[in-house]
Amino acid sequence: MSVIVMNDSENLTIRVAGRPATVAEIDELGDDFRSAIAGGSLGVVVDLSEVGKLDVTFLQLLVSLRATLARAGRSLSCRGLSPDHPARRQAAALGLSAAFDGCEESPR
């Protein structure tokens, strides 16, 4: 898995690409998410346009990141998941649809 972090004047973007976002990669993702929380960007964008399989560990991490940022008056949005993306169905089946609140379909 490749994680690329990009920062502009308003948002920090974390692009997760390559392999699945699963428990095997959670340490690396957790470090990037903690860095995003520590940064001063008003918003954090998680780009999932190149991610296939997600597991419950990743979804829980995403929900936690959203809650932590919200408590600080900051926002989390996702990009790269079409409304019919398999990850959305997986999240719904696990009762974690809220992980994708604010997600948008990636522009092509």
5: confidence class by pLDDT, cuts 50, 70, 90: low
Question: Strand 11-17's sheet: what is its strand order?
Answer: 2-7, 11-17, 43-50, 75-79
Instruction: Please give the biggest Cα pair distance in the chain.
Output: 37
Q: Does the structure show a pLDDT above 50 at 1?
A: no
Q: How far apart are CA 75 and CA 44, in angstroms?
A: 6
Write out pLDDT tens, residues 46-95: 888 887 777 888 888 888 888 888 898 988 888 887 777 777 888 888 88
CATH topology of domain 2-100: Transcription Regulator spoIIAA (3.30.750)
CB-CB contact of 36 with 15 (8 Å): no
pTM for this prediction = 0.78
Output the pLDDT for position 33. Answer: 80
Q: Does the structure show a pLDDT above 50 at 104?
A: yes
Q: Does the structure show a pLDDT above 80 at 103?
A: no
